[in-house]
Amino acid sequence: MQLRHVLAALPRHKLVCLLVVVEIAVAFAILCNAVFIIRERMAQMQIDTGIAESQLIYIHNDGVGEDSNAPLVQRNLQALRGLAGVESAVAMFPLPLANMSINFRPWLSPDMKRRGPAVGMFVGTSGYVDTLGLKIVQGRNFSDAEYAGMDPTWKTLSPAVIVTRDLADKLWPGESPIGKAFWRGPNRGYTVVGVVERLVRGYLRRDFVPEYSALFPVEPVSFVSSLYVMRVAPSEGDRLVREASELLLKLNPDMLIDAKGSYADMRADYFRQDASLVWLLALVCLAMLLVTALGIAGLANFWVQQRRRNIGIRRAIGATRGDVLRYFQIENFLIVTGGIVVGMLFANGINLFLMTHYELPRLPPVYFPVGAIALWLLGQLAVLGPALRAAAVPPVVATRSV
């Protein structure tokens, strides 16, 4: 019954109605796509690096320079281990999400014909697998004898390597990776001695799988002299970062410490750009919802004003307050629904365009009903005030001239 009245009245505001429908459609399309991006980004920001994040602190410096200075690394590590509260200290390269990474593509046969995907290289001194808190799920950790030097092209001399579960499954699907080999050069073959559950590489790239990492053992050399990593109790992190850097500067007056802190700081630093863009997008979404709500409320206000007399007449011939209230609510519902229907087409179109041009994943369909409910609620909320004012119009208005 109400519906008929509403439908009869709508064409009288063709232009404005159309405008609001398009506005809601665009808002809907943008909202769906924006929330989708925000969620994708947030998922990436929550990536599990596989290491004992809360217990690690680091000091990054300019290194010892020539290889002949490498004994300094050993001395520095000894000194760091002597600090009260430091459970273990190692020199390594790099940490996950440290924004630096050396990647290589392993050959799977000694004749260098078959090549695997890009793998992130980790090297570290004795005990670094335990310091990072990595869980060995198959095979064993490096033995002390396996920590050896590096050649001038930054390949370790020891033939032992530990790979991540994901990399092992990729290179040797369905087989036990222990004892399998890959090559990084004609005379640089590596044999897998162990598998760790998970380790994410130094930086994330769209074309790299983050979990494809390989760990190599190395003795203190100049290549690993820039990054000291210590495992400490989480509550003592701040104090130990300070004490460790003071200690290092005392031992090495020439050292240049360019970054230090807890691993959490490093991780936050890696994602700071994403974080600021997520904020920006979220604010834009919020502002858009606000503007849309303001627009709906404003229009409804005008319409109530314009129709005071009509409302009065309807009240006079028997419509209840509830009828008038529902009239405006139904009208709003219809307009918003129109907007949502058109908006779904828009959202899909935008998403298809982005999928083909920018390799974005497909917008999951669940965004449509959720977005629709959100906009319906927003519309009803915005129209409630004006609709209540309309319901309060007394029937006596009908008898007065405008």
Partner 1 sequence: MFGYYMELALRSLKRNPILTALMVLAIGLGIGASMTTLTVMHLLSGDPLPGRSGWLFYPQVDPKPAEPHELPGQLTYIDAMNLWQARRADRQAIMVGSTVKVRGAVQTGAKPMGLHTLATTADFFPMFGVSFIRGGPWSAADDLNKARVAVLSRSAYERMFRGGDGIGQSIRMGSWDFRVVGVIEDWRPTPHFYDLDRESYGQGDDVFIPFLTSRDLAELGITGYSLDCYGTTTDDLHLENQPCVWLKFWVELDSPAKVLAYRHFLDNYSREQQMEGRFTYASAPRTALPDVMRWLDRNGVVPADARLKAWIAFGFLLVCLMNTTGLLLAKFLQRGAEISVRRALGASRWQVFFQCLVEAMTVGLVGGILGLVLAWAGLWGIRQTPADYADLAHLDVSMFATTFVLSVVASLIAGLLPAWRACHIAPAIQLKTL
Q: Which residues contact partner 1 by CB under 8 A? A: 13, 15-16, 19-20, 22-23, 26-27, 29-30, 33-34, 37, 40-41, 62-63, 65, 99, 112, 152-154, 185-186, 254, 256, 258, 269, 272-273, 275-277, 279-281, 283-284, 287-288, 290-292, 294-295, 297-299, 301-303, 305-306, 350, 354, 357-360, 402
How far is the C-alpha of 108 from the C-alpha of 103, rounded, in Å? Answer: 16
DSSP at 54: G
Other CB atoms within a 10 A radius of the CB of residue 90 amount to 23
Q: What are phi and psi of 358, to 5 degrees?
A: -125, 15
The residue (of 144 and 359) whose beta carbon lies closer to partner 1 is 359
The residue (of 71 and 110) whose beta carbon lies closer to partner 1 is 110
The residue (of 277 and 396) whose beta carbon lies closer to partner 1 is 277
The residue (of 235 and 401) whose beta carbon lies closer to partner 1 is 401
Q: What DSSP letter does each residue of 284-338 carry, written as one string? A: HHHHHHHHHHHHHHHHHHHHHHHTHHHHHHHHHTT--HHHHHHHHHHHHHHHHHH
CB 123 within 8 A of CB 153: no
The residue (of 82 and 298) whose beta carbon lies closer to partner 1 is 298
CB of 297 to partner 1, least distance (A): 7
The residue (of 55 and 262) whose beta carbon lies closer to partner 1 is 262
CB 320 within 8 A of CB 391: no
How far is the C-alpha of 327 from the C-alpha of 1, rounded, in Å? Answer: 10
CB of 78 to partner 1, least distance (A): 24
How far is the C-alpha of 113 from the C-alpha of 22, rounded, in Å? Answer: 58
CB of 69 to partner 1, least distance (A): 12
Q: Which two tokens stand for residue 1?
A: 């019954």
The residue (of 247 and 249) whose beta carbon lies closer to partner 1 is 249
CB of 125 to partner 1, least distance (A): 21
Helices (H) and strands (E) in the chain, counts: 11, 11
CB of 26 to partner 1, least distance (A): 5
CB of 131 to partner 1, least distance (A): 25
The residue (of 165 and 389) whose beta carbon lies closer to partner 1 is 389
CB of 63 to partner 1, least distance (A): 8
CB of 281 to partner 1, least distance (A): 6
How far is the C-alpha of 210 from the C-alpha of 199, rounded, in Å? Answer: 8
Decide: helix, strand or coil at residue 363: coil
Decide: helix, strand or coil at residue 174: coil
Burial 141-166 (b: 16+ CB within 10 A, else e): bbeeebbeebeeebbbebebbbbbbb
